[in-house]
Structure 1
Amino acid sequence: MLPDVQAALDWAVEALATSDTARLDSECLLADCVRQSRTWLFTWPDKILKDEQWRCFQQLVERRKAGEPVAYLLGYREFWGLTLKVSPDTLIPRPDTEDLVAKVLELIPLTEAKVADLGTGTGAIALALAAERPDWRITACDFNPGAVALAEANRKALGFEQVTVLQSDWCQALETDAVARGGFDLIVSNPPYIEDDDPHLSQGDVRFEPLSALTSGADGLDDIRLITLQAKVCLKPGGWLIFEHGYNQAGAVRGILSAAGYQDVQTAQDLAGVDRMSFAQRP
């Protein structure tokens, strides 16, 4: 006998009891299987599921129970009000990173600017900035060809013609462009910043995300060091470099920026009050 919406949700919540978000996960997965909104589920709790809907839901719940992230199961994630395709080629955009977008918008109040997003992944940061600043010229870079393809697909779906997606090992593909066109007003990056031996890498959703997008050396700062040096070639004098980083890395990142000769080195907090991003200006 096929269950109704409420019975199916109750079954899933019990199956996912070890998750802190069992109810939300269940609602999102069932809404996807029935091709309706979560509001529809609340409105029609006694609606009997079709056989293919019930089988779809059971399969997704079992995969979620094994730890697979909901965003990968659905194939998309909301970020800054945008619906972005996601895949195992990239990290899943986190809500914390929206604070990084907000800080970039605060640092560069210009109506026209040239900005680069390094390690763009899904394109989340670059596309969020494009949504807010249609006159900015934004270059989104990633080394992973799968991520480049995904970011380009998201760019096309959203219609942001002012964004260019490039394959690049951090700043390498930008250096000629920067010389030719006068440099960038700001470079933003949410790079890998987890220590190689961090025990959390074997726990939770991150088990399914690409390791190359998570880890960066013994202290998690290898890529931040590299970008800090490369970015000086691409930034205009007075241009900003801004990183997202781990909760306990602010002092170390400020030290890296200062040692490289950057000025006005600062750290800002996310909405939870955690040191989440550090930034500085090229002299």
Structure 2
Amino acid sequence: MDIRNEFLQFFQNKGHAIYPSMPLVPNDSTLLFTNAGMVQFKDIFTGMVPRPSIPRATSSQLCMRAGGKHNDLENVGYTARHHTLFEMLGNFSFGDYFKEEAILFAWEFVTKNLGFKPKDLYISVHEKDDEAVKLWEKFVPFDRIKKMGDKDNFWQMGDSGPCGPCSEIYIDQGEKHFKGSEDYFGGEGDRFLEIWNLVFMQYERSNDGVLSPLPKPSIDTGMGLERVQALLEHKLNNFDSSLFAPLMAEISELTSLDYASEFQPSF
């Protein structure tokens, strides 16, 4: 499956305009690199520029999280799921639809287009977001919905800017291969793998930390293409998927080292 094309076409059919990936180095003094799909839409979310005639967007954005609030660099090489550069699939609403439609779209794509089994899906929501809990209960039993605090379920681009509570979709990869002490829903292990974050963009945080309501509540979502590819291929390690196999083969040839050699890092 061409996941990127499947995603973009799905949301185009839902009335979203397709946008190209913006440059990795953004025209934004608060960011070193583009770290999320919503970066190119920041001024729309904050009302700095008028929203487009089609108030829905979708994109596949190259992202790098090295330094700043979202720093994944130190995890690269030590987990099965982090990368220096990754591709974020996203859908966005600029004051058009909000939580209900965002959740409905996500559930439809994950279960119908990607074919993941509903019984394997778990959901996290912000601890104060009872509305999201009720919406998710249409699809997922309450015992598979977990409330979490600001650290896990309140998203913002940087120390300032658009932000809001979020809801994340996880897939249970099964207990057979995951026996660690952190392999529980909400733990740091890899058994429950987050694939999609739905951000309910309601606020803008100022430089002094004050939250102000955005002109119109909006939606910002991000799904990790590399993680989904590995899951669809039943791989427990992103680097074992078909996305990375050609790269690993080329590196092995250039270095005359097998990927499984004694010099292999954790991942």
TM-score with structure 2 length normalisation?
0.29
The structure showing larger relative contact order (alpha-carbon pairs under 8 Å, at least 6 residues apart) is 2
Which of the pair is proportionally richer in helix? 1
Give the structure with the larger strand fraction.
2
TM-score by length of 1: 0.28
- Larger Cα-atom Rg: 1
